[in-house]
Amino acid sequence: MMKFTRRLALISITTLLINPAKAGEQVVVITNHTTAVDSLSRVELKNLYLGAPLSADLTPIMLPKSSLSRTVFTTHVIGLSESRLQSFLAQMRFSGRQLPLVEMDEVAQVVDFIRETPNAVAYIPASVQLDASIKVLYSTQ
Amino acid sequence: MYRALKFILFSSILPFNIHASELQSFMTNNVNFSGFGRIVAGQVSTDEANYLGYDNQLSFSQQSLIAVQADVKLNSRLSVTAQVLGHTGDNRESGLEWLYATYRISPNWTFRAGRQRSPFYSYSDVLDVGFAYTWITPPTGIYNDYLFSRYDGVNLQYQSVWRDYLVSAEIFHGQFDDTLTITDIDYEPEIENFQGLIVKLVKDKWTYRASMVSGDVSLSIDELTGFSQQLRLAGFTQSADSLSIDGKVEFNQIGVKYDALNWFAEAEANLVKSQVLVVPRLKGIALTAGYIKNKTTFFTSFSKLDSNFNEPVNEIPIGISPTLDALSLGYQQVFQSLFVDDTRTFSLGVRYDVNAFLALKTAVTHIEGKSDYRSFFTEVRPGFNRRAQLYQASIEWVF
């Protein structure tokens, strides 16, 4: 019975990883209300995270690999599997083209950082309540 | 000039009159250490030849390496990067692989000066970083010994976003002056005016790349120079010219890649034109496709390299005098002794990403050359048909 439950748990985790959107998780991409940009397209966001300069000088923030929001973001916005993304980032970093992305451990930490820092961009779960100091640039919903 | 540059780079990362506490705070805030490594095990299926240094005994010491990179941020625009590499292969030197300064002129323009990686083709500047690509050994049809890993010089990059297109262009100029080992033969080329233009276009899942790289190569092979002079003295200037070991070598490439969520495909083709006798005209292609299931990537690749040397000039009359006959024979022999590396490779492999820093790979590559060619094989026994399998497994990491 124990074994069966464990397997079931494993299957449900795998399902979540493969298709997080189906599991209901959605993300929004946020920035400080003073940032000059009001919205970004999916491709613009992808370019930003993969090192392209946008018209505004924005700093993208990542959540840790264990975060479901990150899986949703890499899958639906960047459109790469985590392993392809990691390969690509290693390629950029060790050919001297891009420094490592800033990563923060907790959603709360990210929200605080965005509240205080203009021009930073981050994705967080869509369910998080936001105040007027933060605006939404993109949503997977 | 490049020596002076190196000195400036070194001295600029060591500020004078600095207190221990200040140094500590500078190190914490501005110095970023990272690196990569790979342990590659390989073995060929035959005891009749070696391939990429591997024989039919399991070896870990052909492609394994470790590198540490330090990025020192001097201010918001200027940084210095140094990379030290330790390589187990006989044909690669260990030591300072990179030392360059990066100046971000604007978000669109970046300037780099110093020792940096030669960006011939799509993966040329990350060939040592196994974690950054799918294969264990990048397809030899494109990535082979005719390339060198680094140059000393300057590089200017431009990057911009136009609608959904990401456009980047890069120009560089520099020199290379080191030993280059083609299969198992060492050459000491001096490459001046090593320069190139690379254009890249990314539209969401599609990446296109085209490059033109060239260099003025000068080799010193005393026997060949002596013989060439002899021909010139005898009045056979065309023959003497055809044995030139100085001249321009051009590398042209086009590549396309498609990256979907659970599969990818890429193709790369190159054309090398050469005025240098020992470097043939090369035509290479490589096709790779992969399917991704969770952390596992299944991949396959095919590559092909065709080469041809310039035809010998028919200038020296034979049957007139023994001296001319000997000269003609010697001339023909030079051409017969040139190595042809035509190859086809076909490989199947699996990559498993343990986490964001570590990947395991295994691959089998079938190599097919022609029986009278070298086809990158060494230590060849008579009668070897230039067909073999290369079995490889690797651990790749970044830190």
pTM of the predicted model as reported, rounded to 2 decimal places = 0.86
Cα–Cα distances in Å, from B109 out to B126, B243, B350, B387? 21, 43, 38, 48
* B207 touches A: beta carbon within 8 Å: no
Using the predicted structure, report yes or no on whether residue B154 has a pLDDT greater than 90: yes
Please measure the distance between the N-terminal and C-terminal CA atoms of chain A and give it in whole angstroms.
38
Joined tokens for residue B154: 């300057």
- 3-state SS, residue B374: coil
Q: What is the ipTM of this complex?
A: 0.84
Contacts of B71 in chain A (CB under 8 A): 99
* A65 touches B: beta carbon within 8 Å: yes
Smallest CA–CA separation between A90 and chain B, in Å? 5
- In angstroms, the CA A18 to CA B153 distance is 45
User: Which residue among B131, B159, B204 sits closest to A43, beta carbon to beta carbon?
Assistant: B204
* B351 touches A: beta carbon within 8 Å: yes
- In angstroms, the CA A67 to CA A114 distance is 18
Give the confidence band of B90 by pLDDT, cuts at 50, 70, 90. confident
CB atoms B204 and A100 under 8 Å: no
Rounded mean pLDDT, A103-119 = 94
Cα–Cα distances in Å, from B95 out to B82, B88, B92? 11, 12, 10
CB atoms A96 and B204 under 8 Å: no
- In angstroms, the CA A47 to CA B161 distance is 8
- In angstroms, the CA A76 to CA B264 distance is 16
Please tell me the predicted confidence (pLDDT) of residue B17: 58
Please tell me the predicted confidence (pLDDT) of residue B162: 83
Please tell me the predicted confidence (pLDDT) of residue B249: 95
What residue in A sits closest to B109 (Cα-Cα)?
A53
Please tell me the predicted confidence (pLDDT) of residue B188: 83
Joined tokens for residue A134: 């933060």
Q: At A93, which amino acid appears?
A: R
CA dihedral A9, A11, A17, A22 (to 10 degrees): -100
Contacts of A94 in chain B (CB under 8 A): 34, 36, 69, 126, 128-129, 132, 398
Strands B387-398 vs B377-378: parallel, antiparallel or unpaired:
unpaired
Lowest mean pLDDT among A95-104, B191-200, B281-290, B291-300: A95-104
Who's near B381: CB < 8 A, 6+ residues apart? Answer: B47, B48, B49
Who's near B180: CB < 8 A, 6+ residues apart? Answer: B145, B148, B186, B187, B188, B189
**Which position has the higher pLDDT, B17 or B39?**
B39
Contacts of B159 in chain A (CB under 8 A): 52-53
Cα–Cα distances in Å, from B368 out to B257, B300, B344? 26, 16, 5
- In angstroms, the CA B40 to CA B358 distance is 14
Residue in this structure with the two tokens 């959603």, named with its chain if needed? A107
Contacts of A53 in chain B (CB under 8 A): 107-108, 159-161
* B133 touches A: beta carbon within 8 Å: yes
* A44 touches B: beta carbon within 8 Å: yes
- In angstroms, the CA B372 to CA B385 distance is 8
Give the confidence band of A141 by pLDDT, cuts at 50, 70, 90. confident
* A13 touches B: beta carbon within 8 Å: no
B246 forms beta bridges with B218
Who's near A65: CB < 8 A, 6+ residues apart? Answer: A82, B355, B356
Residue B182 near residue B282 (C-beta atoms within 8 A): no
User: Which residue among B69, B160, B292 sits closest to A83, beta carbon to beta carbon?
Assistant: B292
Joined tokens for residue B160: 């911009």
Residue in this structure with the two tokens 């965005």, named with its chain if needed? A114
**377-396 of B, contacting A, C-beta below 8 A:** none
Contacts of B70 in chain A (CB under 8 A): none
- The 3-state secondary structure of chain A, one letter per residue: CHHHHHHHHHHHHHHHHHCCCCCCCCEEEEEECCCCCCCCCHHHHHHHHCCCCCCCCCEEEECCCCCHHHHHHHHHHHCCCHHHHHHHHHHHHCCCCCCCCEECCCHHHHHHHHHHCCCEEEEEECCCCCCCCEEEEEECC
Q: Mean of the per-residue pLDDT values for chain B? A: 90
Contacts of A88 in chain B (CB under 8 A): 132
Residue A35 near residue A135 (C-beta atoms within 8 A): yes
Give the confidence band of B172 by pLDDT, cuts at 50, 70, 90. very high
Rounded mean pLDDT, A8-27 = 54
Give the confidence band of A23 by pLDDT, cuts at 50, 70, 90. low
Lowest mean pLDDT among A106-115, B5-14, B55-64, B99-108: B5-14
Give the confidence band of B1 by pLDDT, cuts at 50, 70, 90. very low
Nearest to A20 by CA among A86, A87, A66, A88: A66
Query: Between B222-233 and B322-336, two packed helices, what is the crossing angle to 10 degrees?
Result: 140
* B198 touches A: beta carbon within 8 Å: no
Nearest to A108 by CA among A140, A130, A133: A130
CB atoms A41 and B164 under 8 Å: yes
Give the confidence band of B18 by pLDDT, cuts at 50, 70, 90. low
CB pairs under 8 A between A and B: 99
Burial class from Cβ neighbours inside 10 Å (0-12, 13-18, 19+) for residue B46 reads buried
Domains of chain A: 24-139 (3.40.190.10)
Using the predicted structure, report yes or no on whether residue B26 has a pLDDT greater than 50: yes
- In angstroms, the CA B110 to CA B77 distance is 9
pLDDT in tens, B175-204: 998 788 877 778 888 999 999 999 999 999
Residue in this structure with the two tokens 């991949």, named with its chain if needed? B299
Residue B29 near residue B75 (C-beta atoms within 8 A): no
pLDDT in tens, B339-372: 889 999 999 999 999 998 999 999 999 999 988 8
Nearest to A89 by CA among A100, A75, A76: A100
